Amino acid sequence: MPRSGIPLKTLVIIVVLVIAIPATIYWLWQRQPKGLTPTQELLEPASQNKSATGSAAQSPKVSIEDNKVLREKKLQLQGQVPTNSLVVVYSAAANAIVKSDQAGSFTSGLDLENGLNLIAISVLGPDFGEIAAKNLTYYLDSAETTNTTVYAGLVKSIFENTITLTTQGGDMPIKKSASTKVNIPKLPGLESQPQDQDIRVGDYMIALGKNVANNQMEAKNIDILRDDKPQNQTHWAVVKILSGLSRNTFSAQQRGQSNIVKITTNTNTGFIDQDKESDAKIIAKDKSAIVIFHEDAKANDVADLVYLLP
CATH, residue 247? 2.40.50.140
CATH classification of the domain holding 204: 2.40.50.320
CATH classification of the domain holding 94: 2.60.40.10
User: Is 33 a domain residue?
Assistant: no
Q: What is the pLDDT of residue 16?
A: 66
Please name the residues in contact with 31: beta carbons below 8 A apart, sequence gap of 6 or more: none
Q: What is the pLDDT of residue 26?
A: 63
**CA quadruple 199, 202, 203, 205: dihedral, nearest 10:** 100
Q: What is the pLDDT of residue 32?
A: 54
Reading the chain (310 residues) residue by residue, the pLDDT tens digits are: 445 566 776 766 776 666 767 667 766 655 554 443 333 466 677 754 444 444 444 678 888 889 999 999 999 999 999 998 999 999 998 899 999 999 999 999 999 999 999 999 999 999 999 999 999 999 999 887 889 999 999 999 999 999 999 999 899 999 999 999 999 987 776 666 667 678 999 999 999 998 777 788 999 999 999 988 999 999 999 999 999 999 999 999 999 888 899 999 999 999 999 999 999 999 999 999 999 999 988 888 999 999 999 8
- Number of domains forming the structure of the chain: 3
User: Is 266 a domain residue?
Assistant: yes
Give yes or no: residues 126 and 184 share one domain: no
Alpha-carbon gap, residue 175 to 170, rounded angstroms = 16
Question: Which of 225, 246, 280 is the C-terminal boundary of a domain?
Answer: 225
Give yes or no: residues 194 and 275 share one domain: no
Q: What is the pLDDT of residue 73?
A: 93
User: Is 35 a domain residue?
Assistant: no
Other beta carbons within 10 angstroms of residue 271's beta carbon come to 19
Q: What is the pLDDT of residue 7?
A: 73
User: Is 189 a domain residue?
Assistant: yes
User: Is 249 a domain residue?
Assistant: yes
User: Is 268 a domain residue?
Assistant: yes
Q: What is the 3-state secondary structure (H, E, C) of the chain?
A: CCCCCCCHHHHHHHHHHHHHHHHHHHHHHHCCCCCCCCCCCCCCCHHHCECCCCCCCCCCEECCCCCEEECCCEEEEEEECCCCCEEEEEECCCEEEEECCCCCEEEEEEECCCEEEEEEEEEECCCCCEEEEEEEEEEECCCCCCCCEEEEEEEEEEECCEEEEEECCEEEEEECCCCCEEECCCCCCCCCCCCHHHCCCCCEEEEEEEEEECCEEEEEEEEEECCCCCCCCEEEEEEEECCCCECCEEEEEECCCCCEEEEECCCCCEEEECCEECCHHHCCCCCEEEEEEEECCCCCEEEEEEEECC
Q: What is the pLDDT of residue 53?
A: 44
| CA torsion through residues 190, 196, 199, 205, sign | positive
Q: What is the pLDDT of residue 37?
A: 37
Q: What is the pLDDT of residue 1?
A: 47
User: Is 13 a domain residue?
Assistant: no
Give yes or no: residues 216 and 269 share one domain: no
Question: Which of 197, 225, 253 is the C-terminal boundary of a domain?
Answer: 225
Residue 213 sits in which domain range?
149-225
Give yes or no: residues 136 and 66 share one domain: yes
Question: Which of 140, 172, 192 is the C-terminal boundary of a domain?
Answer: 140
User: Is 30 a domain residue?
Assistant: no
Q: Which of 180, 181, 85, 189 is nearest to 133 (CA)?
A: 85
